[in-house]
Amino acid sequence: MFAVYAESFSSDDPLSGLVVGERPDPVAPEGWTTVTVKAASLNHHDIWSLRGVGLRDEQLPMILGCDAAGYDEDGHEVVVHAVISDPSWTGDETHDPKRSLLSERYQGTFADKVVVPRRNVVPKPAALSFEEAACLPTAWLTAYRMLFTQSGLKPGDSVLVQGAGGGVSTALITLARAAGLRVYATSRDEAKRARALEIGAHEVFESGARLPARVDAVMETVGAATWSHSIKSLRPGGTIVIAGATSGNNPSQAELTRIFFLQLRVQGSTMGTRTELAQLVEFLDVTGTRPLIDRVVPMTDAREGFAAVASGDVFGKIVLTR
């Protein structure tokens, strides 16, 4: 079958290991099902994979991609949940130490077909297109859990979203606005700041700029480059939810004194559960809110999409179609 996969790793030139080609058809193990992929979306995770983060040489070649929407074996329209937990695990699957994301242990979604455990398919409402639905399982689910499970925010509270242009960040801005929060966003780029206003931010700022008021919570995926500003932007007792560190893992100023003195809460967050994915799908269905798509490209042109994500030249999600 057609597939987009990693053949080798390179931390300096991640796209050098990317192959757009053919892989054998997958065989669904007992309890798993085959989904015919109509649309899949790119995440920064796919770039990390090409850099060798979270994968070992002996796992190559690995089909990339965490997110997909398509048809199940009975022809129903479905969204694929990307978190694969151990069959024996009960409860929140993001807490399962043996969990993995599609394309980490099991082959990913950038292909004609992907096999997943039966419980990992979620019905897709007809009102959502395949392209829109394909944006949800990683970036949008991560944003949903950060905002509605981890942050403690309530309608009327205020939130700062760092690095407005990213897939998770655009989801955060859109979901936060739809949920009745006051939304501040930062970006390094003036054009991205203007776009952030269009999709729902109340006010936008250059990275590191002082806000008009301290916020109840900060949503952090940029990491080292924005960490100090995130901590300084919180009100006493506020919460920082961190789900990524694109710009680096070790901030030069960790702001430890400020964290204990102002009794700030630092909350990590990773992906989300199948239940949260179903709730996110329902949220979009009832509110009419839709994922922001930067561009749709045929999966055969996947390299173009990878290059855009690797260079940070995105606003919203890049969707690959079959």
Ligand X SMILES: NC(=O)c1ccc[n+]([C@@H]2O[C@H](COP(=O)([O-])OP(=O)(O)OC[C@H]3O[C@@H](n4cnc5c(N)ncnc54)[C@H](OP(=O)(O)O)[C@@H]3O)[C@@H](O)[C@H]2O)c1
Q: Which of 61, 117, 152, 312 binds ligand X (CB under 6 A)?
A: 312
The contact mask relative to ligand X for 107-146 (x = CB under 6 A, - = no) is -------------------------------xx--x----
Stretch touching ligand X by CB under 6 A, among 119-127, 152-160, 238-246, 278-286: 238-246
Q: How far apart are CA 100 and CA 84, in angstroms?
A: 5
Does residue number 80 form part of the binding site for ligand X (CB under 6 A)? no
Q: Which of 37, 161, 271, 277 binds ligand X (CB under 6 A)?
A: 271
Quote the least distance from Cβ 309 to ligand X, whole Å.
5
User: What is the separation of C-alpha 214 from the centre of its chain, rounded to a whole number of angstroms?
Assistant: 26
- Residue 5, beta-bridge partner list: 19, 63
Does residue number 163 form part of the binding site for ligand X (CB under 6 A)? yes
Quote the least distance from Cβ 164 to ligand X, whole Å.
4
Taking the C-alpha atoms of 72, 280, 40 and 143 in order, what is their torsion angle to the nearest 10 degrees?
-150
Among 153, 149, 119, 105, which residue's Cα sits nearest to residue 243? 149
Q: Which of 34, 158, 187, 230 binds ligand X (CB under 6 A)?
A: 187
Where residue 91 falls (left for φ over 0; alpha for ψ -120 to 50; beta otherwise) is left
Does residue number 85 form part of the binding site for ligand X (CB under 6 A)? no
By the 10 Å C-beta count (0-12 exposed, 13-18 middle, 19+ buried), 52 is classed as middle
Among 283, 269, 271, 278, which residue's Cα sits nearest to residue 119? 278
Q: Could you list the residues that contact ligand X (CB under 6 A)?
A: 43-45, 48, 138-139, 142, 163-169, 187-189, 192, 207, 221-222, 225-226, 243-247, 270-271, 309, 312, 314
